[in-house]
Amino acid sequence: MVGSTLPVVGGYLGSYATLGLLLLVGLVFFGVAFGANRLLRPARPASPEGKFATYECGLDPVGGDWAQAQIRYYVYAYLYVLFAVESVFLFPWAVIFDRPDFGMVTVVEMAVFVGVLALGILYAWRKRVLSWT
């Protein structure tokens, strides 16, 4: 097999397969690490009362993790979706807008698109969801 390419790592999708391999190596590494930990750690550790209780800061925690969270976190999540999608449209535009067939029209179109989205953030600004209370 030395000197020849693997069938899975050739061609256009081959580069992606290599990424998958790296992911796999990572997983194997952590499998080995946890395995070693399993062998090396104390076999019969003491388990005094309270050892497996929630630590937090040494005091008994108030409430659990099934608590209600502030709505403000979700507002940021929505805004993120808005601008992540905007970026998705901006990326391919940024790569090709310089080519001869495109010109000022492309830039103005993108300006209009960005402007519409900027209205979104202005609205959020005006509604004061951006100021953390």
Partner 1 sequence: MTLAQDPTLASFGHDPWWLIIIKIVFAFLFGLVGTLLGVWMERRVVARMAVRPGPNRHGPFGLLQTLADGLKMAFKEDIMPRAADKVVYFLAPTISVVCGFTALSVIPFGPMVSIFGHHTPLQVTDIPVAVLLVLAVSSIAVYGTVLAGWASGSPYPLLGGLRASAQMISYEVAQGLSIVAVFLTASSMSTSQIVAAQAGNDTSWGPVNAPSWYALLLLPSFLIYFVSAVAETGRAPFDLPEGESEIVGGYFTEYASSLKWALFMMAEYVHMLVVSSVATTLFLGGWRAPWPITLWSGANSGWWPLLWFFGKVAVLLFVFVWLRGTLPRLRYDQFMHLGWKVLLPVNLVWILLLAGINVINDWRTRDRLLVIGGVALAALLIAMLWPTRRPEPEVPLQEQVDARPPGSFPVPPIDLQVPPSPRVRREVAERQPATVGGPSAGGQPEEKEG
The Cα 72–Cα 84 span in angstroms is: 18
Interface residue with partner 1, options 69, 71, 101, 126 (CB under 8 A):
69
CB of residue 42 to partner 1, shortest distance in Å: 5
Number of other residues whose CB lies within 10 A of the CB of residue 121: 14
Q: Quick one: which of 71, 77, 79, 78 has its CA closest to 133?
A: 71
CB of residue 39 to partner 1, shortest distance in Å: 9
1 binds partner 1 (CB under 8 A): yes
48 binds partner 1 (CB under 8 A): no
Residue with tokens 């080995």: 32
Ranges within 107-126 binding partner 1 (CB under 8 A): 107, 110-111, 114, 118, 121, 125
97 binds partner 1 (CB under 8 A): yes
Residue with tokens 């608590």: 67
Ranges within 9-28 binding partner 1 (CB under 8 A): 9-12, 14-16, 18-19, 21-23, 25-27
3-state secondary structure of 80: helix
